[in-house]
Amino acid sequence: MLNAIFISVGFLAACGGFLAAVLVVAEKKILNYGPCNLDINAGEKELAVDGGSPLLSALAENSIFIPSACGGRGSCAYCKLKVLEGAGFVGPVEEHHLTPEELETGVRLSCQVKIRNDLKIEIPKELFAVKHFRAKLIEKEMLTYDIAGLRIELIEPQTIDFVAGQYIQLESEEYKGREAVMRAYSISSVPSDNRHIELMIRKVPEGICTTWVFDYLQEGKELYFSGPYGEFQLSETDAPIIFIAGGSGMAPIWSIIQRMVEKGIHRNAVYFFGALSQKDLFYADELNNIADSSEWFKFVPALSQEPEDSNWQGERGLITDVVKRYFPDTSAHEAYLCGSPGMINACISVLTEGGLPEEKIYFDKFA
């Protein structure tokens, strides 16, 4: 009996061990592509990397951080890059994330492109400036019942260079069986305070990252993020501005408005803040103070579900209707929107109806 157990267990163990060993050796021998050369932006930068790994992680090892929210599984499609030469075939995971034009011009998901030979790639300039930060949460404050304001102090590197309106990718840690993820949040503080950043995060029910932020991230705890990313920023024209954002979409707008105050950029600007009721309002005093003490800025909070008999003196109704009431003719303006895809699309159609050309509408969609 004992003998039989020994033989069968021993054989299975040997069998599994042998096959595993064969596979390990095979992987080392067969899938060894040797050192490969990455040519970035036509000779601007050259990297020697070990072949066999995905492009995304090879770049991250060399401190070039391409945005990615899914951790290289090919589901978020943030890590698109132009691969001019040597990318190989488009796999089935990538295929449905790429439009025919993108396929034509060599756009690929960098997490799905395996480095098997020398590659020529193009990376947007601003991604070179992206760094990976170790930082510490020094303050967590509830701005409303479901939006938290985080103030984060940088540890390594100690300072960050960004433009008001840009975002970072916050990395959550594993907790209770939920995996570590990266999520994008706009910076709400001003670039002049380059040793800190502030974020506004709305609690998403069942959200992996937001649950971590609300329930597990305590003041004083260390965290990691990469950034800055994004092209959402104030243009350099003199056109009057329409800002539209509600909830945590205020973050990049708040950063831009503070920047305008600081820099003395006095372009005419109206900020429409859409919310359901008074309990969703935050930073209203600060914004009203700026509005009261300046000629150029106006703050218009609009509530869509405030009870009829409440003490609310401000605007009521959907934000799109309020914007239309204020600006039937938007042809000379510029608009900056931040929020959910639904809200942004509704606002774009109202603004273009008013005569605003679509290329003058800048927006930051929550994905």
Partner 1 sequence: MDVLHSGIIQTFFLILISATFTDNILLTRFLGMCSCLGVSKKVDTSLGLGLAVIFVTACTAVINYLVYQFLLIPLGIAYLKLIVFIIVIAAFVQFVEMVIERVSIKLYFSLGIFLPLITVNCAILGTSLFMLNKPYSLLQAFAFGLGSGLGWFLAITIIGGIREKVNEASVPRGLEGPGITLIIIGIMALAFVGFSGMIKI
Round to whole Å and give the CA distance between 65 and 61. Answer: 9
Query: Shortest Cβ distance from residue 141 to partner 1 (Å)?
Result: 48
Closer residue to partner 1 in complex, CB, 23/332: 23
Q: Which of 35, 61, 91, 174 binds partner 1 (CB under 8 A)?
A: 91
Q: Which of 80, 82, 116, 298 binds partner 1 (CB under 8 A)?
A: 116
Q: Are 163 and 228 in contact (CB under 8 A)?
A: yes
Closer residue to partner 1 in complex, CB, 107/270: 107
283 Ramachandran zone, left/alpha/beta (phi>0; psi -120 to 50)? left
Q: In what order do the strands lie in the sheet with 45-50?
A: 45-50, 35-40, 119-122, 80-85, 107-109
Could you tell me which residues come within 8 angstroms of residue 263 by beta carbon, excluding any fewer than 6 positions away?
none
Q: Which of 1, 2, 30, 107 binds partner 1 (CB under 8 A)?
A: 30
> Is there binding between residue 24 and partner 1 (CB under 8 A)?
no
# of chain residues touching partner 1 (CB under 8 A): 20
CA geometry: angle 24, 30, 36, nearest 5 deg? 115
Binding mask 176-215 for partner 1 (x = CB under 8 A): ----------------------------------------
Query: Shortest Cβ distance from residue 103 to partner 1 (Å)?
Result: 14
Query: Which of these segments, 23-31, 53-61, 74-82, 196-204, binds partner 1 (CB under 8 A)?
Result: 23-31
Q: Is the dihedral of CA 343, 358, 251, 185 positive or negative?
A: positive
Q: Which of 2, 44, 45, 89 binds partner 1 (CB under 8 A)?
A: 89
Q: In what order do the strands lie in the sheet with 361-365?
A: 315-316, 297-303, 269-275, 241-245, 334-339, 361-365
Binding positions for partner 1, rule: CB under 8 A: 4, 7-8, 11-12, 15-16, 19-20, 22-23, 26-27, 30-31, 88-89, 91-92, 116
